[in-house]
Structure 1
Amino acid sequence: MEEGPSNGGLLYHEVQEGKLCAVHCVNTVLQGPYFSELDLAALASDLDKQERQVLGGELQPEHGDFLADGSHNVSLEGNFSIQVLQKALEVWDLEVVPLASPALEESKYNPEELENAFICHQEDHWFCIRKVNGEWYNFNSLYPAPEHLSKFYLCAYLDSLKASGWTIFTIKGNFPKECNIPSESASGFGQWLMPDDAKKITESCNKQQVTRATDIEKQEMDMLYATREDEDLNAAILASLLDASNSTSGYGTHISGAGESSSTLGNEAHMSEAIEDGNKNEKDNTEQEPASTSSPSIVKNEDDPNIHG
C-alpha cells in the first residue's frame, strides 16, 4: 500500500538523547514530535496501575517482586517496554504486530510492498524503519540523519536483524498525514530534513568514519614502523657494543701474548745460563779428576838400602 506525500516531503528524525530511544522510535513512526518522555512515562504509570489491579493490588508469591520493584514498564534510565509503545501508537489507531506472527507470512517475503513501518528492539534499544513518500528510511536515533534503504536492501537488512537476535514488529493502520511543524521541535532533539539533506549528512558522516578509520590505521602503522625502527636502532647499538667489546678483548690478548713471549724469552735465557754454568762446572770437574784418581807417585828414598843405584 503506497503512502501519499506527507509533511511537504520532509523527513522527521530524532537523534539519541540519553536512553530515550523508545520516544524517538514512536515519534519517527508517526513522523513528528507527538510524544515526550513525560507522555510515555504517564502511559507506563497507567499500565502499572492496570497490572496491579489485575493482580489484586497485593504481592502474591507467584507474582515475584513485581510490586516491590515499582514499574516494569519504564526503567529509571528512561527505557520503556513494548506495552508502552503499543499504547502510544494506539492513540493514533495504529496496531503493533510481531513480524513473526503467522498472519504476516507474506510480509516476511515482500515487506517493501506490503508494509509501511517496522519497529526493531534488542536489549535496551528501539529504532524505526519507515516508508515515507514511497521511500524506505532507517530512522535509527543513533544515526545523525535518516539513512535511505533500497527496496532490495530492506529485505536483506530485516533478515540480518532477525539473524542477529532483533525482535521486529510491523505497524498496521493509517498513519498521520500531516504534522504541525513548529519552528523548533517540541522535544528539543528532533529535526526536519529534506531527503537530499539527509543523504548529504549520511554521506558526510560515513566519509568522516572512513577518514577516522584510515587515520587510526595510519597511526597504528606509524607506531609499528617506529617500533621497528627502534628495534633496528637497538640492534645496531648492541652490535656496535659487541664489536667494541671484541676489539678490546683482542687487544688485551695481544698484550698478554706479548707478555707471555717476553716471559718465555726470559725463562729461556735463564735456562741457557744454567746449562752453560752446568757445562762449565762439569769441565772443571773433569780437569780436576785426573789428579785425584791417578796412581800415587813413587818417591825415591836414597836412604832405603833396598834400592840400588
Structure 2
Amino acid sequence: MSGSEPPLAPGAGRAPALYHERQRLELCAVHALNNLLQGARFTRAQLDRLGHSLSPDSLVNPHFSLLGTGNYDINVLMAALLSEGYAAIWWDKRRSVSSLVLSRIYGFILNIPSNMALGFLSLPMKRKHWVTVRQVEGTYYNLDSKLKTPARIGNDEQLR
C-alpha cells in the first residue's frame, strides 16, 4: 500500500506509541485496516456497507460472512483503502521480496492461514486471517490483532 503517512506520537529514543486493535469476532479486516492507519478509522458497519455496495443485488453477499461476524474479502479491504486515498497493490508471494521498494510502501496487509478456535479449544481447521505489518519510526512491527501487543520485526533487512 502506498500513500502519505499520518503523524504518530514521537518516540524520542524509546518505543513509539502504537495503535493496536485486538481480535474480535471475524473482524480481522477491520482491525488490520485500523492498525495500518494507526487509528479507529473503520467499523464493522462501514465495511458491511462497502461489501453491500460491491454486490448490491446479491441475496447472499460474497464479500463477507453470512452470520454478520465479518470475514471480509480483499475487495472490501481494497475499497476501504481507496476511500482513504490509498492504492492497494496485489503482491504475488511467488515474486522475490528483494524487488520491493520499501521506501514507497506505507504498510502491508497480509492474508495468512490461521488456526480456528472456539474459546480455548483449537480446531483442526484453518481459516484466512488479515494481518498488518507497518513501519513506525524506522522499525517494522507486526500489528496482528491476535497478538496481545505489537511485535517488533526490525529494519528493512529483517523484514525481508
Tell whether the structures are fold-level matches, with TM greater than 0.5.
Answer: yes
- Given the alignment, which residue of 60, 67, 78 partners 1:86? 78
Residue 133 of structure 1: CA displacement? 2.2
User: SS in structure 2 opposite 1:95?
Assistant: coil
Larger Rg: 1
Q: Is residue 21 of structure 2 the alignment partner of residue 17 of structure 1?
A: no
For the structure 1 residues 41 and 5, does the alpha-carbon distance in structure 2 shift closer, same or farther, using more than 3 Å as the test?
closer
Deviations 1:47-95 (A, max 9, x none): 111xx4xxxxxxxxxxxxxx45x11011023110110001111011111
Q: Contact 2:5 / 2:106 at 8 angstroms: preserved in 1?
A: no
Q: Give the total of aligned pairs.
A: 134
Alignment match, 1:186:
none
Partner Cα separation in structure 2 for residue 41 and residue 100 of structure 1:
27
Contact 2:78-2:87 within 8 A present in 1 as well: yes
SS of residue paired to 2:29: helix
Q: 1:5 to 1:110 in 2, by over 3 A?
A: farther
Shift of 1:4: 6.7
RMSD after superposition: 2.5
Structure 1 residues 114 and 7: alpha-carbon distance in aligned structure 2, compared to 1, 3 A threshold: closer
Give the Cα–Cα distance (whole angstroms) in 1 for the partners of residues 45 and 84 of structure 2: 18
Unaligned runs of 5+ in 2: 11-16, 113-126
Q: Which secondary structure state, in structure 1, belongs to the residue aligned with residue 9 of structure 2?
A: helix
In structure 2, the CA distance between the partners of 1:153 and 1:38, relative to structure 1 (3 Å rule), is same
- After TM superposition, the structure 1 = structure 2 runs for residues 197-276 of structure 1, keeping only pairs within 5 Å, are none
Poorly superposed stretches of 4+, deviation over 3 Å: 110-114
Aligned to 1:125: 129
| Structure with greater helix percent | 1
Structure with the bigger percentage of strand: 2
Unmatched segments (≥5 aa) in structure 1:
53-66, 156-309
- Would the alpha carbon gap of residues 8 and 46 (structure 1) be closer, same or farther in structure 2, given more than 3 Å must change? same
